[in-house]
Structure 1
Amino acid sequence: MAVLLALLGAPCLLFLGVGLWVICSCFFTADIPVGIGHPVKLRVLHCALQLFVAWGMILEKLRICSMPQFVHFVHDLPPFIKDPDVVVTDLLFGTIPVKLYQPRRTSRSLRPGILLFHGGGAIVGSFKIYHTICCRLCKESDSVVLIVGYRLAPQHRFPVPIRDCFAAATHFLKSLDMYGVDPARVVVCGDSAGGGVAAAACQKFMDRSDLPKIRAQLLIYPTLQVLDYQLPSFQQNKNVPLITLDFAFLCMSYYLDVSPQWKNAILKGAHMPAHVWERYRKWLDPENIPERFKKRGYRPVARAPLNEAAYLESDLLLDLLNSPMLAEDEVVSRFPEACIVSCEYDILRDNSLLYKKRLEDLGVPVTWHHMEDGFHGALNTLGMGCLQVPCATRILRVMVQFIKGL
């Protein structure tokens, strides 16, 4: 009996121990700024995410499954909640799963088409997590929404996920008439890593004469460059949930197969030679960021001397599929109209600010909305009941209004 009790008690103690460790870690290391309107909700969300990550890491060490696989599994546990106003269809574009959302009521005219690439750092994210967002966006903007279920790292590293997205986009653009989509109003949309894919898609398809032109890009706190980690927002928000600097680097290492041993070199800028920094300085210079975004604290830091080994291991950071903001002016100047949503308490905030300036300087129309109380991942609280934050509703409203205005 004692042996049996020990066998039963050990997992319980382990579960409680991991939970207590995660909660204490979250309280002592997470930075919850006073400007966030619902700090308790953010803290609960952060603790839950970190608990999933911690258990995922344990399972990964035991070689049962990878951490992203476990987090993905947990995220997919809640059931789909049907919306009576939306028709949802599961499709396969070749081997790529997609989910199509169409308003149930009929329309005499063609509708806008939204090609949505979900976020999650290319390691998590799924149809279920974005189901509520897609339903609301579909019916409130009276649009056809297609979300792509691209393959994820670490099982499928770069460039597999982004190739899946481009393949699905090509199939969708060739089949617009089947779904009642106006070929003159096709929008690429994405949040976080998905926002980066959307921006890269603008470049990928701009010269395709056999496909309808992309009308606009709708980017929600997008990942537009993975080269420079010394921008003001990275300093100010490095410990702000839901995506801390450590977690962002973890996502990148899974996706691009960058060894964690180069973390310090990359964060200090030692992974690129001086001529590379000089080449991109005009686009990544913090001087391009308005001063009001530096008031919460920013200290320019000299880049560390070049680490040759880190440079050889991190060349993928310069790939325009990963850093679409680094494309040449003659390319970016041909990008379609953009709507960009940034959040104040987000390490990726300055990506949006720098991209906005580049587009405006090159004559590309930009609609910009900044959520003063927003944090990375806020949109995903939509439909989470008591954990939903008001910022999520405002972001959705921005998206709907932009689509309706096209």
Structure 2
Amino acid sequence: MISVPGRNSAGGLNSLMSSILLRVAGAVLLSAAAYYVYLPLPSGVSEPWKLMLLDALFRSFMQASDVAHALGVCHRVHLLNRVVSWVEVVEARSSAAVNVTDRSLGGVPTRVFQPNGGSTPKRGVIYFHGGGWALGSGREWMRSYDLLCRKMAEDLDAVIMSVDYRLAPEAVFPDQYHDALAASRSFLSPQVLQRYSIDPDRLCVSGDSAGGNLAAAVAQKFGSDDTLKVKFKAQALIYPVLQALDFHTPSYQQNQAVPILYRPIMARFWLQYLGADSSLEPLLLANNHSSLDQPGISAAARSRLDWTNLLPAERRKHFRPVPGLTDVRAAPLLAEPGVLGRTPKAYVMTCEFDVLRDDGLMYGRRLQDAGVTVTSDHYEDGFHGCMVFAYLPMMSGVGWRSMNNYICWLDQNL
């Protein structure tokens, strides 16, 4: 007898086909996701798959913001900050160990982290967050910096003041610089030091990336100001951005495609900060903005970014200089030796896989040449942003190592 498939048999066949199709679709989607996430990275990067996942997240945010910008929906920075607020923002909440309040320093919003108990007077650190002078809400706060400052306050038994300076595109240079100066001047005032029981002889200015730029600029300005009765004892700069004169230093060439700070993104941040036309980005990347035929750039200014002399041979490697510097007021690397020599002792953290690596290394060398005591803390497996992102679940061990060493230096030098 021949068996004829019935309704149940047909249903089973359809179920089987649906299951196969779902698995195929899942495999295709998984392959597409893996293709999007995967990025060839240098072999020395700490825990590369974690960096790939973080980069995929940021690339998604950046691409979505670029589309919104192109369609005229909103400025790309506004969308990025909105996404940051969804992911990172936390309210000011105190704990048993640290009291957290929102205050104003010189008219600039600031979050104050005060350890409960401990000795008095306490050490004090004013901190400027990174984000290309554009990212991080102007009204709210990022979880990464909140947790960093809490840890600093608790581990150091110090008062930490994290400054919420104005951001691009609404604010452009020198707005952020002026905010940093105003907040720092207030931080050094007798009224603030007394109110928070801070020792005037144990003060530090610090920041990461664009915040490191502001911290270095503040240290230079106040170091040369003889009217100040209280000055900073130390400056701590975390992978700082210090110049827009040469986008072809060895680190810019070596790490131009290494996440999370790609070379074109850094050029875009600079243009936003300076209030310049975004169409100039290709000129910056080609160093045409600072070619040798620019008469406004002196030989002395060029010598302050001569990485063929300022970088050790193992960093120069096989790279060759591309002629080009530009007149950028917001570039602490170009300061006169006399100005550098009056700044406080310095801690400069750099990462091997970071386009800004050579900015920090050259600045450390120039500070030393000017007579400043410098601690250079370089991470051969580090990448831009590693310290601040140490609290994310996907973050690598180099983030924790760099954070602990940074706090350890502060503990020993404040």
What's the TM-score once normalised by structure 2's chain length?
A: 0.84
**Aligned 8 A contact 1:22 1:54 in 2:** no
Distance 1:22 1:318, change over 3 A: farther
1:325 aligned residue (333, 341, 354): 333
Unaligned runs of 5+ in 2: 1-29
Aligned to 2:353: 345
Aligned to 1:401: 408
1:35 aligned residue (20, 29, 44): 44
Opposite residue 238 of structure 2, the aligned amino acid is I
Deviations 1:104-144 (A, max 9, x none): 1232x311110000000001035223111111111112211
Matches for 1:68-147 after TM superposition, within 5 Å: 68-77=77-86, 78=88, 80=90, 83-93=95-105, 95-107=107-119, 109-126=120-137, 127-128=141-142, 129-147=144-162
Opposite residue 113 of structure 1, the aligned amino acid is G
Matches for 1:372-391 after TM superposition, within 5 Å: 372-385=380-393, 387-391=394-398
Aligned to 1:214: 232
**Aligned 8 A contact 2:222 2:228 in 1:** no
**Aligned 8 A contact 2:37 2:53 in 1:** no
Distance in 1 separating the partners of 2:340 and 2:89: 41
**Aligned 8 A contact 1:83 1:135 in 2:** no
1:231 aligned residue (249, 263, 274): 249
1:169 aligned residue (184, 198, 207): 184
Distance 1:357 1:210, change over 3 A: closer
Moved more, 396-405 or 370-379: 396-405
Aligned to 1:5: none
Distance 1:222 1:23, change over 3 A: farther
Deviations 1:354-397 (A, max 9, x none): 11111111110001110110000101222212x12111112212
Distance in 2 separating the partners of 1:111 and 1:166: 22
Aligned to 1:294: 316
Distance in 2 separating the partners of 1:250 and 1:84: 42
Matches for 1:357-372 after TM superposition, within 5 Å: 357-372=365-380
RMSD: 2.3
The alpha carbon displacement at 1:97 in A equals 1.2
Deviations 1:262-301 (A, max 9, x none): 2233233322353526222322112221111133x52333
Moved more, 389-398 or 346-355: 389-398
Distance 1:22 1:272, change over 3 A: farther
Opposite residue 123 of structure 2, the aligned amino acid is P
Distance in 1 separating the partners of 2:408 and 2:347: 10
**Aligned 8 A contact 2:107 2:182 in 1:** no
Distance 1:82 1:73, change over 3 A: farther
Report the secondary structure of 1:55's partner residue.
helix
Report the secondary structure of 2:290's partner residue.
coil
Unaligned runs of 5+ in 1: 1-18, 304-310
Alignment pair present for 1:159 and 2:167 = no
**Aligned 8 A contact 2:291 2:323 in 1:** no
Report the secondary structure of 2:194's partner residue.
helix
Distance in 2 separating the partners of 1:395 and 1:334: 27
Distance in 2 separating the partners of 1:143 and 1:233: 35
The alpha carbon displacement at 1:26 in A equals 6.0
Deviations 1:233-255 (A, max 9, x none): 00000011110001111111222
What's the TM-score once normalised by structure 1's chain length?
A: 0.85
Distance 1:285 1:364, change over 3 A: same
Distance in 2 separating the partners of 1:195 and 1:329: 19
Distance in 2 separating the partners of 1:267 and 1:277: 21
Rg (Cα) greater in structure: 2
Report the secondary structure of 1:284's partner residue.
coil
The alpha carbon displacement at 1:158 in A equals 1.3
Report the secondary structure of 2:58's partner residue.
helix
Distance in 2 separating the partners of 1:46 and 1:149: 25
Report the secondary structure of 1:405's partner residue.
helix
The alpha carbon displacement at 1:400 in A equals 1.4
Distance in 1 separating the partners of 2:32 and 2:273: 27
Report the secondary structure of 1:158's partner residue.
coil
The alpha carbon displacement at 1:49 in A equals 0.8
Distance in 2 separating the partners of 1:188 and 1:223: 16
Structure 1 vs Structure 2: percent identity of aligned residues?
34
Opposite residue 212 of structure 2, the aligned amino acid is G
Aligned to 2:16: none
1:64 aligned residue (73, 80, 83): 73
Deviations 1:163-202 (A, max 9, x none): 1121111112111111111111110001001101001001
Between the two proteins, the alignment pairs up a number of residues equal to: 370
Aligned to 1:306: none
Distance in 2 separating the partners of 1:279 and 1:148: 34
Distance 1:382 1:367, change over 3 A: same
